[in-house]
Amino acid sequence: MPLAVELSGVEFAYPGGPPVLHGIDLEVAAGEFLAIAGPNGGGKTTLLRLALGLERPTRGEVQLFGEPADRFRDRARLGYLAQRAQLAVQAPATVREVVAAGRSPLKPLGRLRADDRAAIERAIERVGLASAAGRPLTRLSGGQQQRAFIAKALVADPKLLVLDEPTAGVDVEAQEALAELLGRLHGELGVTILYVSHEFGAIEHVVERLVLVREQIVFDGPPSALPGVWHDPSHVHV
């Protein structure tokens, strides 16, 4: 299958600092659902930023859908949920308004049209928030807020959906519900998903592949093949 992401011989260090990543070789096929886990400070978020072209490697190459990641042209088709996604304004924006902001990059010179509005409603419905579309985001639970941001990331029909620590600050029940949602969306849309977290217990049964990062890749395979010392069928922190 064509590759969505490819890192070859990648090393990375911030200026004047020690290596954050070294010896990274990673291929992610289009349509794959991949979890990237590791301890805080282990380099998993840096690996993600390299894959998206937000950082450039100290050494090696990073390709995004066959293009150098830092020069990838179709950025409107990248759905990115950053860590602790929060509204950047104080106004009580509704779920619909938040999701609509994800459609705007496709229409930089014009207003949203009927097809855009239909896409917004469809994205909201997909994440199970149709009944809350007109409610201020600040009145929703943490898990519901994350669903709204996922809808925002989905509304532009992305080729790649990236979620960085999407379950931070939400309870176990919300984590499990989010995992079920992502598994269903992956099945329905066939979108490539990169899910990054220090905790992978909730997502373990829906991802196809798990990559553990501790400055380098220390495991790459199905979660069921994870060595016993690492594997915990409940909620695993690494």
* Domain residue ranges in the chain: 1-74+159-238, 87-158
Largest CA distance in the chain: 55
**pTM of the predicted model as reported, rounded to 2 decimal places:** 0.86
Tokens representing 234? 């409940």
Task: Count the Cβ atoms, other than its own, within 10 Å of residue 138.
Answer: 13
Half-sphere exposure (CA, 13 Å, Cβ side) for 83?
Answer: 10
More confident residue, 27 or 143: 27
Cα gap 160→182, rounded to integer Å: 13
Predicted confidence (pLDDT) at residue 221 exceeds the cutoff of 80? yes
> How many CB atoms are located within 10 Å of the residue 166 CB?
27
Query: What pairing do the DSSP bridges indicate for beta strands 59-64 and 3-13?
Result: antiparallel
163 or 198, greater pLDDT: 163
Mean pLDDT of 109-138: 90
Q: What is the pLDDT of residues 82-108, one digit of tens each?
A: 876 554 444 578 999 999 988 876 665
Lowest-confidence segment of 68-82, 103-117, 131-145, 212-226 by average pLDDT? 103-117
Once rounded to an integer, what is the mean pLDDT over residues 171-184?
87
Amino acid, single-letter form, for residue 5: V
CATH class of 1-74+159-238: alpha beta
Q: Inter-axis angle of helices 142-154 and 172-189, to 10 degrees?
A: 20
Phi–psi pair at 91, nearest 5 degrees: -60, 145
Contact between 81 and 155 under an 8 Å Cβ cutoff? The reply is: no
pLDDT number for residue 72: 92
